[in-house]
Amino acid sequence: MNPKREAALQIMKRLEEAGFESYLVGGCVRDFVLKRPPQDYDVATNALPHKVQSLFPRTVPTGIKHGTVTVIHQGIPIEVTTFRTESDYEDYRHPSHVEFVSSLEQDLSRRDFTMNAMAQDRQGKLYDYYGGLQDIQAKRIRTVGSPFDRFEEDPLRMVRAARFAAQLQFALDPKVKEAMAKLNDKCIHLSVERVVAELEKVWASPATSRGIALLYECGLINYLPPFAAWQVQTPTQAQIGKFDQIPDRIGCWAYLVYLCTGGKKDIQHHLRQLRLANHDVKAIKACYQLALDWPYSLTEDEGKKLLLRHGLETGLRAVQLARILDKPLSASLEQDLTSWWNEMPAKSLKDLAISGQDLIQYQQQPAGPWIKKTLEYLLEKVALGNIPNQKECLLKEGCKVGAEYS
């Protein structure tokens, strides 16, 4: 059994032994019905937070104000939340009023979508008050109650609807789609971090284009931070469909930025606004700019020089994006790049048979910028097969340019 599931069931058993109700709720139940491996297990109970804390030796009051206590069972954290209702979402995310209740049905009524509003007891019995099972069987995304109410409470639920459509390849209920189109301007209240987190899940989905199409179709993209400030262009359905040809998240980010900016050259400012990790920003920028500037034709030496600057992974990623942008490329380009990369006897400075210290000793010159320049010159010579990667040869060749760079 999955260790997280086992931990959750043991916690439920202890709650029940103390006279309380307990159920698995949310995404883990949905995934169980869909026969997908759940990522996390959440428990709901009628035990009040202080009671939960008293029943377990290790707890963390992660969201105790809203009824959530994290129980640590054999090193595994499981969130245990008291049945509750919520109201008055003043910041479009957090309820300003939470009321603890004794009914599972009431607790499930506050969930976003019916497929996420099911519960399961320790014996495996399913509790489905809002038609979640029927909606899953119909491959339909429907809200618990009015979609207008659910989306007013937290506009991120509209982005989540698009994400679930991409992940599960489900269709939106017509009323859900209508509400998204009418309330799209509420997305302006979302944080960049929450939007980016949802998009990362869209990139990992089997039907990425379906999720992105909904963001455009319902007008969400025009109000989502940071895209709202980018004067977003409207792509064709064919352009959006090409997201499904992109194999990784870096390529997806690069293509989305291309579509949103209309292919602007300088995207550094846009990438910074996404608040991604620095290494992601660097990778996206390299892929994007290389794809935009990909040469019409490429000789073997030119290809190897390009690979030295960017690496094989970035090179192949850029070719994939360039093809999506309808650049006229050789049919064998990916194969050529891979072959050239594999043929290169040295691919980075650390692969050279000499170091900077060797150059200093051999040329009797003080350290300085000339060392890196000389090593880069030698690396290119070795990579292109112009000189062997042997210490004596490299030191002699380095003498020819060392003075020029010093």
Q: What pLDDT sits at residue 98? A: 79
Q: What pLDDT sits at residue 90? A: 64
pLDDT over threshold 70, residue 379: yes
Average pLDDT over residues 330-351: 96
CATH superfamily of 1-133: Beta Polymerase, domain 2 (3.30.460.10)
CA pair distance 134, 178, nearest whole angstrom? 21
Query: Which of 130-134, 188-192, 293-297 has the least mean pLDDT?
Result: 293-297
Q: What pLDDT sits at residue 46? A: 96
pLDDT over threshold 70, residue 12: yes
Q: What pLDDT sits at residue 363? A: 86
Model-wide pTM > 0.75: yes
Under the banding of pLDDT at 50, 70 and 90, the label for residue 92 is low
Residue among 135, 89, 137 nearest 110 (CA) = 89
Q: What pLDDT sits at residue 64? A: 87
CA pair distance 368, 152, nearest whole angstrom? 61
Q: What pLDDT sits at residue 1? A: 73
3-state SS, residue 237: helix
Q: What is the pLDDT of residues 44-84, one digit of tens each?
A: 999 999 999 999 999 999 988 889 999 999 999 999 999 99
CA pair distance 153, 112, nearest whole angstrom? 10
Q: Bridge-partner residues for 44, per DSSP? A: 23, 81
Q: What pLDDT sits at residue 132? A: 98
More confident residue, 50 or 231: 50
> How many Å from the N-terminal Cα to the C-terminal Cα in the chain?
65
3-state SS, residue 113: strand
Second CATH level (architecture) for the domain 139-245? Orthogonal Bundle (1.10)
Q: What is the pLDDT of residues 255-268, one digit of tens each?
A: 999 999 988 889 99
Q: What is the pLDDT of residues 139-153, one digit of tens each?
A: 999 999 999 999 999
Q: What is the pLDDT of residues 24-43, one digit of tens each?
A: 999 999 999 999 999 899 99
pLDDT over threshold 90, residue 130: yes
Characterize 202-224 residue by residue with b for buried, 16 or more Cβ atoms within 10 angstroms of its Cβ, and e for exposed: bbebebbbbbbbbbbbbbbbbbb
Question: Are 41 and 24 in contact, with CB atoms under 8 Å apart?
Answer: yes
Q: What pLDDT sits at residue 89? A: 59
More confident residue, 367 or 160: 160
3-state SS, residue 80: strand
Give the number of C-alpha atoms closer than 13 A to the C-alpha of residue 334, restricted to the C-beta side. Answer: 11
Q: What is the pLDDT of residues 150-167, one digit of tens each?
A: 999 999 999 999 999 999
CA pair distance 228, 188, nearest whole angstrom? 8
CA pair distance 194, 163, nearest whole angstrom? 12
Q: What pLDDT sits at residue 262? A: 86
Q: What pLDDT sits at residue 88? A: 59
Q: Which residue has the tokens 């010579």?
A: 381
CATH number of 349-405: 1.10.246.80
